């Protein structure tokens, strides 16, 4: 790994803190969070100072002044420059030192630069590419139907003491909804046998749940009453997107819940949820009804994930067993650890039965 790309990353972070994950875009904050003052954020163990110049353009530097290593996020913005609060060193968005107060020879400042990371502002978020000094070959992920007429979107964020893998599995797993979200998403005493088709490709795995007909929880009853033949799809998309899609026999009803998971460290994950929907209700009323229900589901997931983390730490590590209905976890691990399964085909398809 490029040393500059991983500088500041925690050592021994495990598979999700290594290799190709650094060569991807991650949400570091919302556009609204980045105002006049710089903010400190950590992505993949890399401490960052994120700031916005007077031209409105966001930038991200390693949160360490090269002079005396004071955090640059504690400084301030002047014009389009980030000023270190210790000696006033002045850096532009590319990390180039533009001024050292008291230095007579201005040109000397240009060789004492900070580490800069590529940044893009898109869809109301600030995205950072975690490989410094490298030109990204891709753009940040585009959330589905975000700009499509007739759809409404709202978003939330939550930080949780959990790993990327455990957060993704929790969000995509249908079998926990009867218990953690009892009555809200599904009910245990109303199960039916369904078919699940699992498909894996180079950068994604998805499970399509067929023949469920209706979902027994309150959210479904309020947002899509009277609809039958529901199809729910769970996806994990590299590098860290967990996504649920719900379709019904009525084209009017459609729901995408995209969870962008930004790994802060190996055991701390920031989740940005983007909920985009179209239903029989006026959009404003749909948001009023949906927001508190999804917020409750998020709180329930956070509680069970942090309980899981606490017990894993108590027993000094994960020791999981698996069944056939743990449909996505093995594939999430496969995608997050490229090159470790040389004897296994990248493309995978399987159909199973389960009661849900």
- What's the pLDDT tens digit per position in 310-335? 999 999 999 999 999 999 999 999 99
| Rounded mean pLDDT, 258-279 | 95
How far is 62 from 244, CA to CA, in rounded Å?
Answer: 34
pLDDT at 78: 96
Return the HEC string of 238-296: CCCEEEEEEECCCCCCEEEEEEEEEEEECCEEEEEEEEEEECCCCHHHHHHHHHHHHHH
| Rounded mean pLDDT, 38-66 | 98
**Strand ranges (DSSP E) for 102-220?**
116-117, 119-122, 125-129, 152-160, 193-200, 204-213
Confidence bin at 189 (pLDDT 50/70/90): confident
**Residue range(s) of every CATH 2.102.10.10 domain in the chain:** 8-129
Task: Assess whether pLDDT exceeds 50 at residue 26.
Answer: yes
| Rounded mean pLDDT, 219-228 | 72
Residue 247 or residue 303, greater confidence: 303
How far is 105 from 113, CA to CA, in rounded Å?
Answer: 16
Q: What top-level class would CATH report for the domain 152-355?
A: alpha beta
Task: Assess whether pLDDT exceeds 90 at residue 56.
Answer: yes
pLDDT at 187: 79
CATH topology of domain 8-129: Rieske Iron-sulfur Protein (2.102.10)
pLDDT at 5: 44
| Per-residue pLDDT tens digits for 68-77 | 999 999 999 9
Burial 96-118 (b: 16+ CB within 10 A, else e): bbbbbeeeeeeeebeeebbbbbb
Reduce the DSSP state of residue 35 to 3 states and report it.
coil
Task: Assess whether pLDDT exceeds 60 at residue 133.
Answer: yes
Burial 318-351 (b: 16+ CB within 10 A, else e): eeeeeeeeebbbbbbbbbbbeeeeeeeeeeeeee
Q: Are 196 and 208 in contact (CB under 8 A)?
A: yes
Confidence bin at 108 (pLDDT 50/70/90): low
Query: Considering the chain, what is the average pLDDT of its residues?
Result: 89
pLDDT at 339: 63
Residue 225 or residue 320, greater confidence: 320
Report how far apart, in Å, the C-alpha atoms of 240 and of each of 166, 203, 205 are.
11, 10, 12
134 burial (CB, 10 Å; 0-12 / 13-18 / 19+) is middle
**Residue range(s) of every CATH 3.90.380.10 domain in the chain:** 152-355
Angle between helices 329-336 and 164-172 (to 10 degrees): 140
Task: Assess whether pLDDT exceeds 60 at residue 138.
Answer: yes
Burial 244-266 (b: 16+ CB within 10 A, else e): bbbbbeeeebbbbbbbbbbbbbb
């Amino acid at each position: 790994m490029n040393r500059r790309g991983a500088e500041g990353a925690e050592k021994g972070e495990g598979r999700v803190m290594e290799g190709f994950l650094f060569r991807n875009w991650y949400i570091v904050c919302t556009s609204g969070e980045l105002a006049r003052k710089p903010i400190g954020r950590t992505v993949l163990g890399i401490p960052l100072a994120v700031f916005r110049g007077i031209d409105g353009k966001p930038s991200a530097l390693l949160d360490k002044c090269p002079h005396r290593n004071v955090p640059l996020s504690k400084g301030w913005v002047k014009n389009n420059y980030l000023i270190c609060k210790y000696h006033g060193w002045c850096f532009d968005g590319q990390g180039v030192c533009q001024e050292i107060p008291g230095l007579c020879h201005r040109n000397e400042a240009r060789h004492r630069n900070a580490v800069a990371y590529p940044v893009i502002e898109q869809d109301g978020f600030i995205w950072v590419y975690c490989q410094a000094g490298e030109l990204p070959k891709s753009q940040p992920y585009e959330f589905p139907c975000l700009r499509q007429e007739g759809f409404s979107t709202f978003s939330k964020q939550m930080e949780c003491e959990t790993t990327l893998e455990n957060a993704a599995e929790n969000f995509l797993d249908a079998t926990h909804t009867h218990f953690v979200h009892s009555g809200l998403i599904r009910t245990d005493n109303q199960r039916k046998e369904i078919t699940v088709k699992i498909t894996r490709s180079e950068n994604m795995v998805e499970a399509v749940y067929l023949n469920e007909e209706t979902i027994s929880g309150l959210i479904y009853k309020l947002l899509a009453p009277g609809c039958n033949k529901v199809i729910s799809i769970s996806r994990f998309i590299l590098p860290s997107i967990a996504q649920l899609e719900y379709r019904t026999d009525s084209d009017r009803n459609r729901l995408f819940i995209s969870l962008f998971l930004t790994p802060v460290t190996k055991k701390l994950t920031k989740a940005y949820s983007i909920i985009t929907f179209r239903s029989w209700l006026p959009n404003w009323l749909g948001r009023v009804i949906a927001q508190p229900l999804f917020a409750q589901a998020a709180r329930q997931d956070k509680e069970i994930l942090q309980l899981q983390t606490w017990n894993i730490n108590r027993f000094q590590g994960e020791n999981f067993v698996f069944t056939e209905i743990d449909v996505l976890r093995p594939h999430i691990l496969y995608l997050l650890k490229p090159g470790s399964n040389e004897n296994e085909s990248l493309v995978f398809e399987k159909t199973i039965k389960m009661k849900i």
